[in-house]
Structure 1
Amino acid sequence: MDKVDKNKVYQIIKVAKLYYEAKLGQEDIAKMEGISKATVSRLLQKGIDKGFIKVYIDYQMESVSRLENKLKQCFGLKDVFVCPVTINMEDIVLRDVCKTLADRLERYIQNNSVVGVSWGNTMNTLASEIQKMSVTNVNVVQLNGGVPKHTISTGATRIVDTLAAACDGEGYLCPVPAIVDSKSISDVLKNDSQVRNVLHLAEQSETIIFSIGALTKQSILFQAGYFKEDEYNQLFLKKAVGDICSRFFNIYGEIVDEELDQRVVGMSFEEIKKKKYRIAVVSGENKVDATLGALLGDFPNVLYIDEKTAEKVLVKYETLKLKRTL
Structure 2
Amino acid sequence: MIYNKLPNTDIKVSEVCLGTMTFGQQNSESEGHAQMDYAFEKGVNFFDTAEMYSIPSHKETYGSTEKIIGSWFKSTGKREKVVLASKIAGPSPIFGYMREKLDFSPESLQYALDNSLKRLQTDYIDLYQLHWPERKTNIFGQRGFKVKDDQWEDNIHQVLETLDGFIKAGKIKAIGVSNETPWGLMRFLEESKKYNLPKIATVQNPYSLLNRLFEVGSAEICYRENVGLLAYSPLGFGVLTGKFLDEKVKHPKARLNLFPQYNRYSSEQSTAATKMYNDIASSHGLTLTQMALAFVNQQPSVTSTIIGATSIPQLKENIESFRIKLSTEIFDLIEAVQAVYPNPAP
TM-score between the two structures when normalised by the length of structure 2? 0.28
- In our comparison, the structure showing a higher alpha carbon Rg is 1
TM-score (norm 1): 0.29
